[in-house]
């Protein structure tokens, strides 16, 4: 039987909300609720940041043998428009509370593509066994949205994050 | 049915033993991908040295908002079936969530789907739409590849439609 893997939006190292086939909304609040509250406000000068978002893989049902090679990537082309960007990085398994503090050391999310994905199991390394059932596996991926004064107001077009893994 | 279960595999060894688990294809004389649903092609590989197999899964999720489904859809109060004029198989996956529109409406999880029909996990509750209306989905399609590594090339087979991509032996395919 094939494994069932989920993508969770994390509120602690091992606590999260299932967002598989769901939506993550960058906002000015630390919660996983997809609503119109706490929007990001375009600054008159410079830029502002959303609260960071962390996602992690969750093994909902085990594989026959193993799961490995966790990868995260975008389609390589930001559809968010001028003045909006998203930064991403692998932060291992060290939890830090989500915050609006500017992320350091991240790279443009859209630089991670199918040809060059973000490695998702460099600290919590695979292969992950059936014994890891009902637990979080791999590393935390932290993202943050930046909104600059040059951004246009209104809702953004959707973007998609892809999570990939190998299974035996 | 989950996308990953569209195909089962079978490994026949030189000893005559048939395996349905594992990744090592040493001593394999036939590797078969057997469809579990209609309209998918069966694939058999034989007469060529094989090394190992694995599957590669792709889950996609949306950031910020959602997208409209193409075509016109009809649904009925109390029914868990939605019918479409368009082929939705490239937009929908089991577990996707759909809604009558993007704001203030309830989201319904997809349990099964065919090209022109969606079965919801629970019945739709609300105004019946018989002449065809619009719905919105919260996800893009996932994919599940079977990969077979041969002596000097790889074959990736999509679980969604059974199509094959042949690549160099060390090529890592990400969709």
pLDDT(B67) > 70: no
CB-based contact B57 A168, cutoff 8 Å: no
User: Which region among A50-59, A81-90, B78-87, B149-158 has the lowest average model confidence (pLDDT)?
Assistant: B78-87
Domain CATH code at residue A136: 2.60.40
Top mean-pLDDT range of A138-152, B52-66, B93-107: A138-152
Q: At residue B130, does pLDDT exceed 90?
A: no
Residue A111 has pLDDT above 60, yes or no: yes
Task: Tell me if B148 sits within 8 A of B25, measured CB to CB.
Answer: yes
| Residue B13 · residue B30 · CB < 8 Å | no
Residue B103 has a pLDDT of: 57
In angstroms, the CA B139 to CA B60 distance is: 7
Mean pLDDT for chain B overall: 86
The total number of structural domains in chain A stands at: 1
List, in order of start, the domains of chain B with CATH numbers.
Answer: 3-57+144-168 (no CATH), 67-137 (2.40.30)
Residue contact B59–A156, C-beta within 8 A: no
Q: Which tokens go with A74?
A: 């975008």
Closest CB to A166: pick one of B4, B54, B97: B54
The first and second tokens of residue B112, run together, are: 């099964």
Instruction: Scan for tokens 């993202």, then name that residue.
Output: A143
CA distance B89 to A155: 27
A11-15, A74-78, B75-79, B93-97, range with the lowest pLDDT: B93-97
Q: Hey, are the CB atoms on A7 and B96 less than 8 Å from each other?
A: no
- Per-residue pLDDT, A137: 97
Give the highest mean pLDDT range of A19-33, A114-128, B50-64.
A114-128
What ipTM, to 2 d.p.?
Answer: 0.85
Mean pLDDT of B150-168: 94
Lowest mean pLDDT across A13-22, A59-68, A86-95: A13-22
Closest-CA residue of chain B to A6 = B59
Residue of B92, B90, B56, B23 whose CA lies nearest to B175? B56
pTM: 0.77
Q: Are B59 and A166 in contact (CB < 8 Å)?
A: no
Chain A residues with beta carbon closer than 8 angstroms to that of B138: 21-23
Mean pLDDT value of segment B133-155: 83
Domain span holding position A132:
4-167
Contact predicate A160/B140, CB 8 Å: yes
| Separation of first and last alpha carbons in chain A | 10
Q: Looking at beta carbons, which residues of chain A come within 8 Å of B53?
A: 168
Which residues on chain A are in Cβ contact (under 8 Å) with B66? 23, 158
Examine the pLDDT at B86 and tell me if it is beyond 90: no
Q: Residue A57 — left, alpha, or beta (φ > 0 → left; ψ -120 to 50 → alpha)?
A: beta
Nearest to A23 among B61, B93, B174 (CB): B61
Query: What pLDDT is attached to residue B161?
Result: 86
d(Cα A42, Cα A11) in Å, to the nearest integer? 26
- When scoring A1, A7, A8, A21 by the number of chain B Cβ atoms within 10 A, the one with the most, hence best to mutate, is A21
| CA–CA distance, B46 with B91 (Å, rounded to integer) | 34
Give the residue with greater pLDDT, B13 vs B38: B13
Please check the confidence at residue A88 and state whether its pLDDT lies above 90. Answer: yes
Exposed/middle/buried for residue A47 (C-beta within 10 Å: 0-12, 13-18, 19+):
middle
Of the candidates B22, B57, B175, the beta carbon closest to that of A165 is on B57
């Amino acid at each position: 039987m094939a494994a069932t893997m989920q993508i969770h939006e994390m509120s602690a190292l091992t606590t999260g909300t299932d967002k598989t086939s769901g939506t993550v909304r960058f906002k000015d609040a630390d919660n996983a609720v997809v609503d119109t509250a706490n929007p990001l406000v375009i600054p008159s000068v410079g830029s502002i940041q959303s609260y960071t978002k962390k996602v992690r893989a969750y093994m909902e049902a085990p594989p026959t043998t193993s799961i490995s090679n966790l990868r995260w990537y975008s389609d390589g082309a930001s559809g968010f428009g001028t003045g909006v960007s998203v930064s991403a990085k692998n932060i291992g398994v060290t939890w830090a509370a989500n915050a609006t503090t500017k992320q350091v050391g991240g790279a443009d999310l859209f630089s991670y593509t199918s040809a060059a994905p973000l490695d998702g199991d460099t600290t919590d390394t695979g292969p992950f066994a059936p014994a890891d059932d009902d637990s979080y596996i791999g590393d935390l991926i932290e993202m943050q949205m930046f909104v600059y004064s040059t951004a246009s107001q209104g809702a953004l077009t959707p973007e998609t994050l892809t999570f990939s893994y190998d299974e035996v | 049915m989950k996308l990953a279960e569209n195909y089962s595999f079978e490994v026949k060894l030189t000893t005559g033993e048939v395996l349905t688990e594992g990744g090592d294809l040493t001593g394999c004389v036939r590797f078969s991908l057997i469809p579990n649903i209609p309209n998918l092609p069966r694939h058999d590989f034989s007469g060529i040295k094989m090394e190992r197999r694995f599957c590669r899964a792709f889950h996609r999720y949306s950031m910020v908002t959602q997208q409209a489904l193409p075509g016109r859809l009809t649904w009925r109060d109390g029914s868990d079936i939605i019918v479409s004029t368009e082929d939705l198989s490239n937009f929908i996956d089991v577990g996707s969530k759909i809604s009558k529109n993007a704001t203030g409406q309830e989201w319904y999880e997809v349990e099964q789907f065919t090209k022109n029909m969606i079965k919801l996990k629970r019945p739709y509750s609300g105004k019946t739409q018989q002449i065809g209306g619009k719905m919105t989905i919260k996800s893009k399609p996932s994919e599940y590849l079977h990969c077979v590594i041969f002596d000097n090339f790889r074959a990736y087979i999509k679980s969604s439609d059974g199509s094959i991509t042949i690549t160099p032996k060390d090529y890592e395919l990400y969709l």
